[in-house]
Amino acid sequence: MNIKEKHYTYMKLPIIIYSDKIIKYTSLSKKTAGKSIYPFIILKERYKTDPIYILRAPKVIRHETIHFHQHQDLIIPFLMAILYGIDYIFKLFTNNFDPYIAYHENAFEREAFENQYDTEYIKTRKKFSWFKYFLRNLK
Ligand SMILES: [Zn+2]
Protein backbone atom coordinates (compact mmCIF):
# COMPACT_ATOMS: atom_id res chain seq x y z
CA MET A 1 0.00 0.00 0.00
CA ASN A 2 1.55 3.35 -1.01
CA ILE A 3 1.12 6.64 0.87
CA LYS A 4 -1.68 7.88 -1.38
CA GLU A 5 -3.71 4.70 -0.86
CA LYS A 6 -3.10 4.89 2.88
CA HIS A 7 -4.37 8.44 3.02
CA TYR A 8 -7.59 7.43 1.33
CA THR A 9 -8.23 4.29 3.34
CA TYR A 10 -11.74 4.63 4.59
CA MET A 11 -14.02 2.58 6.70
CA LYS A 12 -16.19 0.60 4.34
CA LEU A 13 -19.20 0.44 6.65
CA PRO A 14 -20.52 2.56 9.50
CA ILE A 15 -20.99 1.26 13.05
CA ILE A 16 -24.72 0.85 13.66
CA ILE A 17 -26.17 1.73 17.07
CA TYR A 18 -29.83 1.49 18.10
CA SER A 19 -30.60 4.18 20.68
CA ASP A 20 -33.74 6.23 21.23
CA LYS A 21 -31.83 8.42 23.70
CA ILE A 22 -29.12 9.52 21.26
CA ILE A 23 -31.76 10.27 18.60
CA LYS A 24 -33.82 12.24 21.13
CA TYR A 25 -30.94 14.38 22.35
CA THR A 26 -29.40 15.09 18.95
CA SER A 27 -32.51 15.75 16.83
CA LEU A 28 -34.75 18.74 16.42
CA SER A 29 -37.55 16.68 14.90
CA LYS A 30 -39.44 13.93 16.73
CA LYS A 31 -39.86 12.13 13.39
CA THR A 32 -36.14 11.45 13.04
CA ALA A 33 -35.73 7.73 12.29
CA GLY A 34 -31.99 7.63 12.06
CA LYS A 35 -28.95 9.79 12.00
CA SER A 36 -25.36 9.72 10.88
CA ILE A 37 -22.74 10.88 13.37
CA TYR A 38 -19.52 9.71 11.76
CA PRO A 39 -18.45 6.90 12.03
CA PHE A 40 -21.74 5.81 13.57
CA ILE A 41 -25.28 5.40 12.31
CA ILE A 42 -27.85 5.72 15.04
CA LEU A 43 -31.32 4.26 14.54
CA LYS A 44 -34.40 4.29 16.77
CA GLU A 45 -34.65 1.07 18.78
CA ARG A 46 -37.89 0.04 17.08
CA TYR A 47 -35.86 -0.68 13.90
CA LYS A 48 -34.45 -3.66 15.79
CA THR A 49 -37.50 -4.72 17.80
CA ASP A 50 -40.71 -3.93 15.85
CA PRO A 51 -41.39 -6.38 12.97
CA ILE A 52 -42.88 -3.64 10.78
CA TYR A 53 -39.96 -1.29 11.37
CA ILE A 54 -37.44 -4.11 10.87
CA LEU A 55 -38.72 -4.32 7.27
CA ARG A 56 -38.06 -0.59 6.81
CA ALA A 57 -34.62 -0.66 8.45
CA PRO A 58 -32.59 -1.44 5.28
CA LYS A 59 -33.88 1.74 3.58
CA VAL A 60 -33.02 3.88 6.62
CA ILE A 61 -29.61 2.22 6.93
CA ARG A 62 -28.91 2.87 3.21
CA HIS A 63 -29.96 6.53 3.62
CA GLU A 64 -27.71 7.02 6.64
CA THR A 65 -24.86 5.08 4.99
CA ILE A 66 -24.95 7.59 2.12
CA HIS A 67 -24.46 10.33 4.77
CA PHE A 68 -21.62 8.24 6.24
CA HIS A 69 -19.89 8.30 2.84
CA GLN A 70 -20.56 12.04 2.47
CA HIS A 71 -18.70 12.51 5.77
CA GLN A 72 -15.81 10.41 4.43
CA ASP A 73 -15.65 12.43 1.19
CA LEU A 74 -14.73 15.50 3.21
CA ILE A 75 -12.02 13.82 5.33
CA ILE A 76 -11.88 16.75 7.80
CA PRO A 77 -14.20 15.85 10.68
CA PHE A 78 -17.39 17.87 10.88
CA LEU A 79 -16.78 19.70 7.59
CA MET A 80 -19.73 17.84 6.07
CA ALA A 81 -21.89 18.86 9.04
CA ILE A 82 -20.84 22.49 8.59
CA LEU A 83 -21.58 22.46 4.85
CA TYR A 84 -24.86 20.68 5.57
CA GLY A 85 -25.79 23.46 8.03
CA ILE A 86 -24.84 26.25 5.63
CA ASP A 87 -26.86 24.66 2.82
CA TYR A 88 -29.81 24.09 5.18
CA ILE A 89 -29.82 27.77 6.22
CA PHE A 90 -29.51 28.82 2.58
CA LYS A 91 -32.47 26.60 1.66
CA LEU A 92 -34.48 28.05 4.56
CA PHE A 93 -33.93 31.56 3.23
CA THR A 94 -34.78 30.56 -0.33
CA ASN A 95 -37.90 28.53 0.64
CA ASN A 96 -39.91 30.90 2.84
CA PHE A 97 -38.32 29.48 6.03
CA ASP A 98 -40.12 26.18 5.57
CA PRO A 99 -37.99 23.65 7.55
CA TYR A 100 -39.53 20.63 5.73
CA ILE A 101 -38.64 21.98 2.28
CA ALA A 102 -35.22 23.21 3.45
CA TYR A 103 -34.44 19.70 4.75
CA HIS A 104 -35.56 17.95 1.56
CA GLU A 105 -33.84 20.49 -0.71
CA ASN A 106 -30.53 20.11 1.15
CA ALA A 107 -27.88 18.76 -1.27
CA PHE A 108 -26.75 16.00 1.13
CA GLU A 109 -30.34 14.90 1.80
CA ARG A 110 -31.20 14.88 -1.89
CA GLU A 111 -28.40 12.47 -2.67
CA ALA A 112 -29.53 10.26 0.25
CA PHE A 113 -33.26 10.39 -0.56
CA GLU A 114 -32.83 9.86 -4.31
CA ASN A 115 -30.69 6.77 -3.79
CA GLN A 116 -31.98 5.18 -0.57
CA TYR A 117 -33.92 2.48 -2.47
CA ASP A 118 -31.01 1.57 -4.73
CA THR A 119 -29.24 -1.43 -3.17
CA GLU A 120 -26.26 -1.03 -5.53
CA TYR A 121 -25.77 2.71 -5.02
CA ILE A 122 -23.27 2.56 -2.13
CA LYS A 123 -21.09 0.10 -4.07
CA THR A 124 -20.97 2.24 -7.22
CA ARG A 125 -21.17 5.73 -5.71
CA LYS A 126 -18.46 8.18 -6.75
CA LYS A 127 -16.85 10.45 -4.16
CA PHE A 128 -18.35 13.95 -3.84
CA SER A 129 -21.59 12.83 -5.51
CA TRP A 130 -23.50 15.33 -3.35
CA PHE A 131 -21.72 18.20 -5.13
CA LYS A 132 -23.92 17.95 -8.23
CA TYR A 133 -27.02 18.38 -6.03
CA PHE A 134 -25.51 21.58 -4.69
CA LEU A 135 -25.04 22.94 -8.19
CA ARG A 136 -28.43 21.82 -9.44
CA ASN A 137 -30.14 23.87 -6.73
CA LEU A 138 -28.29 27.08 -7.47
CA LYS A 139 -30.33 28.07 -10.50
ZN1 LIG B 1 -30.70 12.28 5.62
Whether 71 is covered by a domain: the verdict is yes
Please say if the pLDDT value at position 24 is more than 50.
yes
The reported pTM is 0.87
Are the beta carbons of 70 and 106 closer than 8 angstroms? no
Q: Tell me how far the alpha carbon of residue 112 lies from the centroid of ligand 1, in angstroms.
A: 6
pLDDT digits (tens, 9 = 90+) for 97-111: 999 999 999 999 999
> How many domains does the chain fold into?
1
Q: Tell me how far the alpha carbon of residue 21 lies from the centroid of ligand 1, in angstroms.
A: 19
- Gyration radius of the chain over CA positions: 16
pLDDT band at 115 (very low <50, low <70, confident <90, very high): very high
Tell me the C-alpha distance between 100 and 114, whole Å: 16
Q: Tell me how far the alpha carbon of residue 121 lies from the centroid of ligand 1, in angstroms.
A: 15
Q: What's the pLDDT at 86? A: 95
Please say if the pLDDT value at position 124 is more than 70.
yes
Please say if the pLDDT value at position 2 is more than 70.
no
Q: Tell me how far the alpha carbon of residue 107 lies from the centroid of ligand 1, in angstroms.
A: 10
The arrangement of strands across the sheet holding 15-18 comes to: 15-18, 40-43, 34-37
Q: What's the pLDDT at 134? A: 83
Q: Tell me how far the alpha carbon of residue 7 lies from the centroid of ligand 1, in angstroms.
A: 27
User: Hey, how many other C-beta atoms are within 10 angstroms of the C-beta on 36?
Assistant: 22
Whether 107 is covered by a domain: the verdict is yes
pLDDT digits (tens, 9 = 90+) for 46-88: 999 999 999 999 999 999 999 999 999 987 768 998 999 999 9
Domain residues for the domain of 58 are: 9-137
Average pLDDT over residues 25-45: 92
Task: Give the residue among 72, 67, 61 at the shortest CA–CA distance from 106.
Answer: 67
